[in-house]
Amino acid sequence: MWESFLGLYNYWIVILLMMAGFYIVMSRHNLVKKLIGLSIFQSSVFLFYISVGKVADGTAPIIEEGISSYSNPLPHVLILTAIVVGVATTSLGLALVVRLKEAYGTIEEDEINEMDAAD
């Protein structure tokens, strides 16, 4: 039983990172901390897709003699694309936080909502 439990350690890491990132997003009111939580959550999704895409004893899809098990490279390629999109999204989020800081003088979500409600 413990062998199967410990043998899937990468999935436990995915769950831990996903819960930590989601907790940070939901519990913090600082916008930079929320972006960090989203990045952690996003990293857990990347790890999950890479874990699912790995085939035991699989090799690159190059046909050779004696090789019968191939890994599909598509999940790994999609994750590379997702990493680029994630970096772009995070940089856009940070740029928006800078603009909010200039406009409101704070990056705390509650204070920004109070200022908007007052107007």
| CA separation for the pair 23, 59 (Å, rounded) | 37
Q: What pLDDT does residue 1 have?
A: 64
Q: What pLDDT does residue 2 have?
A: 65
Instruction: Catalogue all structural domains in the chain, each as residue range(s) with its CATH number.
Output: 7-55+68-118 (1.10.287.3510)
Average pLDDT over residues 12-23: 96
Q: What pLDDT does residue 43 have?
A: 95
Q: What is the mean pLDDT of the chain?
A: 90
Of 11, 25, 17, 23, the residue nearest 44 (C-alpha)? 17
* pLDDT tens digits, 18-41: 999 999 999 999 999 999 999 999
Question: pTM for this structure?
Answer: 0.83
The proportion of the chain whose per-residue pLDDT surpasses 90, expressed as a percent, equals 63
